[in-house]
Structure 1
Amino acid sequence: MVENNRWIKFSSHLILILGLAAVIFPIYIMVIATTHTGPALQQPPFPILPGDQFLENMKLVLGEGLSTAGAPPVALMMFNSMVMALGITIGKIAISLLSAYAIVYFRFPFRMFFFWMIFITLMLPVEVRILPTYGVASSLGLLNSYVGLTLPLIASATATFLFRQFFLTIPDELLEAARMDGASPMRFFWDVVLPLSRTNIAALFVILFIYGWNQYLWPLLVTTDESYYTIVMGIQRMLNVADAVPVWNAIMTTAMLGMVPPVIVVLVMQRLFVKGLVETEK
């Protein structure tokens, strides 16, 4: 039995190591590409050791950008992506918290009807809603603006559903105690419901931030001004160059910089994220 257990542990670790290598190897190649010049990456064999052009590549993409590819400096695109990701994340969480709180703790006509109408929107793919949403944004003059990048995407049926399900698990005794103490509905929300939802908010924050950061289709539709391009749009424009060879060192440097904010968010909020998923504090 001991020998069999050792072989099981060895094979399990081997599979994990191989899987980790398969995930890390493309990232390693990307990092290596950020330290070489464009011509060095286009000539075989592909370099597998670091070069000495990392600072030059960073200076190129952060300060100058690639005007030939229609891509502004990466610093500006990362700022736009950060505004969009944070706006979508905070907006979705705020609206979903209030809507789920109203559905659970207030009694008004057609309460469940409105909830199921919100839930049904999950069955509509983005492609079905994208053109009507663009028409509304265009008629309101939201094109080429930060409001246009964020406002049409802040509603979330998924977050509303998750918060509603969590609010239903809160004991009724807490509500009765708050009423006996004379707490108003909003005081009960701020002092009781919101602190209990901390781990859920953290888990949704990570998921929604990555969702907002990786948006491509909607920014592509609502922005024609380069000053509002996001990092994902910039990478795509760098890749699709007509009658020219892609500048791979700049593309890989931009891709690496684009990974940094989501990775930081995941690392900083990892513990709360896991708690929110496994529901340890509910």
Structure 2
Amino acid sequence: MMENGLAALYRKLIDRPGGVYTFAVILAAAGIAAPTTKAEHAVDDGVMALLLSGDLLFGLFVTMLIVLVIVGARIDDRPGKSIALALGVMAVGSIVRMLLPFSRSIGWLAEWNGAMLGIMIITLYLSLRIGARFAVAAMGCALYTMFVTAGITLSLADRITVPGILTLTSVGALAVVLAFLGYSLVRSRIESARRDPVSHSVRTGMVQAMPFLVLAGLAVLLFAAPLALVTDGPLRDFGLYLMVGGPMGACAALMSAIPLAAMTQNIRFEAAPPARRGGRRQR
């Protein structure tokens, strides 16, 4: 009974996006405001070295392309376009990556980071242009989850460490996995109702995925809470990031249904003609 009630409430929220967008803005504001509750944050030297090396930003860029290829091929049904776009953008990003030592030597590291961020934004835009909407939504879930998780966790953690930053990237990967699992049910609904608007399949598929996503977020929370509350050092940071990021990733995946339903409002996937099997060709 409770599960049916949650599903009905979630279906209503999808059809009334104003409340969901307000909640998303409140979470983002909490991610911004939470670090200000601490007077100062202790930062390890390794963190600054990692941020200044450019490897972290380039790693996020490569991860974006992997998400584009997997989700774009499996969910959006754009395998050729997704792979072609990923290869083209990867070539440009690799050229920029080779310029990193030169940029560091002349003090243009900020400009290099700006160029990489620009390439990432262009990748998101081009992904939308080729119709990889679910891939963009999955990337958005990861970035949103990492942003809010980082802000809230920084107000709780004692130090900002390299293991904590790496755990934060793992939280982003977890958000992508949760989103992909939810979108897989949407894809199943699209294939069984190809003449209906895709937005209808988004609603029914995400409502069907809602209990699993909620349970997955709670499971991560229950796993990470003892580490965050009992242990110290890197294990405590690991637990804090997961304790916040697990439920946040599930929440982001569920909220992504609203923009997806809006983007696919008037889109239909027509059924392809069945492939002929062996035998004489009909005339």
Alignment TM-score, normalising by the size of structure 2: 0.31
Alignment TM-score, normalising by the size of structure 1: 0.31
The structure whose RCO (Cα within 8 Å, separation 6+) is larger is 1
Q: Which of 1 and 2 has greater Rg?
A: 1
